[in-house]
Amino acid sequence: MNLTSLFNLTYGLCLISSKNGDKINACVVNSVFQVTSENPTIAISMSKKNYTYEMIKKSGIFNISILGKQTPTSLIGNFGFKSGKDINKFENYNYEKGKNGAPILKDYTISYIEAEVINSIEVGTHTVFIGKIVDCEYLSEAEPMTYAYYHNIKGGKSAKNAPTFAQQEAEEISRKTEKSSNNKKYKCDVCGYIYDPQIGDPENGIDSETSFEKIPEEWVCPICRVHKNRFTIL
C-alpha cells in the first residue's frame, strides 16, 4: 500500500464555523464535498479534538466559508493553528451571522454555504457530518484556494488535526532526502510552516531567492508568529 496515492486527491481550503449559545468558532478544513445536488447536501470531516466539532455536535449547524486564493497565511494560522477555547478567533476579522446564527467570514470568502446536520458517521478520530444546505451565496469570481496552492506556493501545512496530516509527515520525510545544501528549507517547530528560500515570504516582504539566514531578525513565522529561533533546518 502506497499512501502517496492520497497526495493526488485535490482539496480546497474552507473555514467551517458553528456556534453554541453566544459562543462562535471556526477552523480551517480541507475535507468538504458535495453529496447530492437535488435536495442539496454537503459533507465535512471534522477531528473530534476541534472546538468547532463540539459546537457542531451540540448545535447541529455549520457554515462553510470557501476561501479565495488571496487568503493570507496569517488567516490560515489564526483559524487553523489556534484553539477557540483560548481566544476569540474572529476578533480581528469581519464576519456576519448567517440565517442559522453561525458566523460567515466576510474577508477573503468567495462563496458560503449554510447547513443543518441531517446525519453523521463516526470514523475513529473524525466524524463525517452530512448537512442539508439551507442557504448559500456566490460572492466573488476569484479563484478558490486549493490545498495544493496553499501547500506549494504559500508553504503551508495542515493543522495537526486535519485528516491529511499523517500524509504530510510522510511527505516531509521524503523531502528531507532530497535537500540541497544551497537551498535549505527551514521548518517552524510550532506550527510546521516550511520556509522555502525559492518562494520566500512575499506577503511579509521577503522576496523569493532569499536564504533563511538573510531574513531580518524581526521577521516572524507568517502562520503562528514565532521568531526565527524557533525554526529548524530540514
Give the interface with Fe ion as residue ranges (CB under 5 A): 188, 190-191, 193, 221, 223-224
Q: How far is the CB of 218 from Fe ion (least distance, A)?
A: 15
Q: How far is the CB of 167 from Fe ion (least distance, A)?
A: 20
Here the cell at position 189 is 517547530
- Residue 195 φ then ψ, to 5°: -85, 120
- Angstrom distance (rounded) from CA 128 to CA 43: 7
Q: How far is the CB of 99 from Fe ion (least distance, A)?
A: 36
- Residue 169 φ then ψ, to 5°: -60, -45
Pairing of strands 14-20, 61-67: antiparallel
* Cβ closest to Fe ion, residue 153 vs residue 190: 190
* Cβ closest to Fe ion, residue 139 vs residue 153: 153
The per-residue b/e assignment along 4-41, b for 16 or more CB within 10 angstroms, e otherwise, is eeebeeebbbbbbbbbbeeebbbbbbbbbeeeeeeeeb
Q: How far is the CB of 227 from Fe ion (least distance, A)?
A: 10
Are 138 and 111 in contact by the 8 Å Cβ rule? The answer is yes
Q: How far is the CB of 193 from Fe ion (least distance, A)?
A: 4
Here the cell at position 183 is 537551498
* Cβ closest to Fe ion, residue 61 vs residue 75: 75
* Cβ closest to Fe ion, residue 115 vs residue 188: 188
- Angstrom distance (rounded) from CA 155 to CA 203: 12
* Cβ closest to Fe ion, residue 69 vs residue 230: 230
Q: How far is the CB of 38 from Fe ion (least distance, A)?
A: 43
- Angstrom distance (rounded) from CA 30 to CA 135: 21
* Cβ closest to Fe ion, residue 11 vs residue 193: 193
Query: Which residues share a beta bridge with 132?
Result: 41, 116
